[in-house]
Amino acid sequence: MRKGYWITVYRSVSNPDALAAYGKLAGPAITAGGGRFLVRGTAAKAYESGLTQRTIVIEFDSLEKAIATYESAEYQAAKKLLDGAVDRDVRMAEGA
């Protein structure tokens, strides 16, 4: 079975305090779902119209586990803290 990846790129963060509060709830929800943080921080370099904002890559044992964790009640409660605080792109992808 191929691994699943949850990839998030933040375009902007207008409320860092809300992002910090989100992280306190989201991190445990993601690890409880089997997620392992591979990348968590600001991009060192960006090419081809990329942004150097915060980038997160989380590995799961499968794409299904990544999606189930995102859709879980625990993660959705954390996600609500970001309303109006960030502009981001979240994608789920299957490993090669």
Give the 3-state secondary structure of residue 49. coil
Distance CA 60, CA 76 (A): 18
pLDDT tens string 56-89: 999 999 999 999 999 999 999 999 999 999 999 9
Report which of residues 76 and 51 the model is more confident about.
Answer: 76
The pLDDT assigned to 49 comes to 81
Which range, of 6-10, 31-35, 40-44, 73-77, averages the lowest pLDDT? 40-44
d(Cα 62, Cα 4) in Å, to the nearest integer? 4
Q: Which domains does the chain have, with CATH numbers?
A: 4-94 (3.30.70.100)
What pLDDT is attached to residue 62?
Answer: 98
Phi, psi dihedral angles at 75 (to 5 degrees):
-70, -40
* R_g of the chain, CA atoms, integer Å: 13
Cβ atoms of residues 39 and 59 within 8 Å? no
